[in-house]
C-alpha cells in the first residue's frame, strides 16, 4: 500500500508552499537527510509539526519523551548499544492478561521493520512502536544512561607499555 508523501501532505494542509518544498527537496538531496529534517533545518516548520504529520501518515501515536523517567527494568530489556545504533528508546512495558508485553518503543523511523524485529528478539516481548523525534530519543538516552560507564569497573588496567610478557602456562602439555 502506498503512502502519500509527506511533502504532499504538508502542501495539502497549507503548512508549506511549493517554493519551500522545492527548497527542502534540494536541501534533502544535498545533505542526504529526510524531508522533514530539511524542513525543520531550513526553519519552514517546527519539529513538532513535522512529527504530527508523520504520525498521521504512519497511523502511529506521536509522543514527546521530554523528562519522562523510564523504570530501570524496562531499560534493561534492550542493550544500550542496540538502542543507540537504531535510535529507539523503550518507554514502558505493558501487561496483557496472561502475558508480559508489549514493549512501547519510541522510534524515529517507523518504516524500519528490521529494528522492530531486533528489539523484539532482544527483549523477548512484542514491540508496539510510537513515533518520537530523533533529538528527543537521543536526549532520553543520554539522560538515562549518563554516568553509567563511570559506575562500571574497567575490565583490566594495564600500563601504557607493559613491556615483554611472560607466558605463565600453556594449554595441553605433553609429559
Write the pLDDT tens digit of every residue in 102-158.
999 999 999 999 999 999 999 999 999 999 999 999 999 999 988 555 544 444 444
pLDDT band of 3, cuts 50, 70, 90: confident
| Confidence at residue 100, expressed as pLDDT on a 0 to 100 scale | 80
H or E stretch including 96?
strand 88-96
CATH 3.50.30.30 correct for 72-151: no
Q: Is 138 exposed, middle or buried (0-12, 13-18, 19+ CB in 10 A)?
A: middle
Domains in the chain: boundaries? 6-58, 72-151
Q: What's the CA gap between 75 and 24, in Å, rounded?
A: 36
Its pTM stands at: 0.77
Q: What's the CA gap between 24 and 5, in Å, rounded?
A: 13
Amino acid at each position: 500500500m502506498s503512502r502519500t508523501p509527506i511533502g504532499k501532505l504538508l502542501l495539502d494542509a497549507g503548512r508549506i508552499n511549493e517554493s519551500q518544498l522545492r527548497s527542502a527537496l534540494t536541501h534533502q538531496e544535498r545533505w542526504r537527510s529526510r524531508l522533514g529534517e530539511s524542513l525543520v533545518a531550513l526553519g519552514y516548520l517546527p519539529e513538532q509539526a513535522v512529527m504530527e504529520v508523520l504520525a498521521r501518515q504512519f497511523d502511529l501515536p506521536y509522543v514527546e519523551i521530554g523528562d519522562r523517567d523510564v523504570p530501570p527494568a524496562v531499560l534493561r530489556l534492550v542493550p544500550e548499544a542496540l538502542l543507540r545504533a537504531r535510535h529507539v528508546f523503550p518507554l514502558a512495558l505493558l501487561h496483557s492478561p496472561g502475558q508480559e508485553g508489549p514493549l512501547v518503543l519510541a522510534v524515529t523511523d517507523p518504516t524500519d521493520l528490521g529494528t522492530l524485529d531486533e528489539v523484539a528478539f532482544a527483549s523477548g516481548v512484542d514491540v508496539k512502536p510510537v513515533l518520537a523525534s530523533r533529538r528527543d530519543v537521543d536526549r532520553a538516552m543520554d539522560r538515562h544512561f549518563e554516568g553509567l560507564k563511570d559506575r562500571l569497573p574497567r575490565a583490566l588496567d594495564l600500563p601504557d607499555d607493559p613491556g615483554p610478557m611472560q607466558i605463565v602456562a600453556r594449554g595441553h602439555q605433553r609429559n
